[in-house]
Amino acid sequence: MKRVAVFTSGGDAPGMNACIRAVVRGAVYHGIEVFGIRRGYSGMINGDIFQMTSHSVSNIVQRGGTILKSARSKEFMTPEGRAKAYEQLKKFDIEGLVAIGGNGTFTGATLFFDEYGIPTVGAPGTIDNDLYGTDHTIGFDTAVNTALEAIDKIRDTADSHDRIFFIEVMGRDSGYIAIQSGIAGGAEMVMVPEVLTPISEVVETLKSGWSRQKSSSIVVIAEGEEAGNATEIAEKIRLQVQSTIDMRVTTLGHIQRGGIPTAYDRILASRLGLGALEGLMNGEQNVMAGIINNELVYTPFRDTIRLPKPISEDLLRMVKILSV
């Protein structure tokens, strides 16, 4: 393989730049020409492709976001869009791709290979940590620490004013950010999409705390929680409790996507970027590079897309025990 290209797609995640850097410098080390594609599949269709060198990725390992930009492309999900993308790659004689992203990115890569035979190896870049085939995804650790910093600060004001705070974190289909930031932040309750949590159970937990003279509480809620968003859940609890206790809602939102990546995310992203490139060099195709039990593994895209990644029962049990 003489020419490869790297791109980022879908939601941005802290550590993506470190991953790009590892792909580019790994390619330079191995004597392979490497190209960057701006704005994911959209840039692939439009030919926004440029050659990268070692200098192209200087001073980016510490930066959040992605220097290659990111986008979601509805056009690429059509046969006509993929045909345009293939023609652009042919112009540059690109033989393989490193895709940094999540489920949508890998779904597109699978369709592309089925139609045009362009091999892709993926690096899991998503703060949600919802991809089967890796213990952690790029950006997850930073997002948890960002959420935790906010929870710690909110805890101060909750305690000062004897309030209950309902804090909504990202995780449309996955409660990993909620469960880990909730445990680390000492939350009294964590609500995640993977487990049905009746409102009555939250009420009982809060009442139990009040009976022990607990004057403030934190409830962490993943955005994909079945019972509703944080505002809806807070209102349901207010109606059931009928108490004068002050309740407030904070939605952390996209602040969790940005910021300087942690050391863990930089190292993970570097391992996965180099692992994806070298996997491509060694004939891997339509697989995601991941780290399981500190070992580099490759999981077929179809499995990363299809198979769920359950939350540890131990973590769920821990929340219950530590809220006593």
- The domains of the chain, with CATH numbers, are 3-139+261-306 (3.40.50.450), 143-257 (3.40.50.460)
Q: How far apart are CA 106 and CA 86, in angstroms?
A: 16
pLDDT attached to residue 241: 80
* pLDDT at residue 242 in the model: 67
88 annotated as belonging to a binding site for a ligand? no
pLDDT over threshold 90, residue 316: no
Residue 128: active-site member: yes
> What span, in angstroms and rounded, lies between the C-alpha atoms of 268 and 237?
40
The pLDDT tens digits for 106-115 are 999 999 999 9
Is 96 annotated to bind a ligand? Reply is: no
Six-digit token string for 245: 């206790």
Which residues, in sequence order, are CB contacts of 295 under 8 Å at separation 6+?
none
What is the number of H-type helices and E-type strands within the chain?
A: 11, 11
- State what percent of residues in the chain have pLDDT above 70: 99
Annotated binding-site residue? 267: no
Residues 115-152 pLDDT 10s? 999 999 999 999 999 999 999 999 999 999 999 999 99
Q: What is the tens place of the pLDDT at every residue in 220-235?
A: 999 988 878 899 999 9
| Residues facing residue 169 across a β-bridge | 222
Q: What is the pLDDT of residue 63?
A: 96
Q: What is the pLDDT of residue 287?
A: 98
Catalytic-labelled residue, pool 12, 128, 130, 141: 128
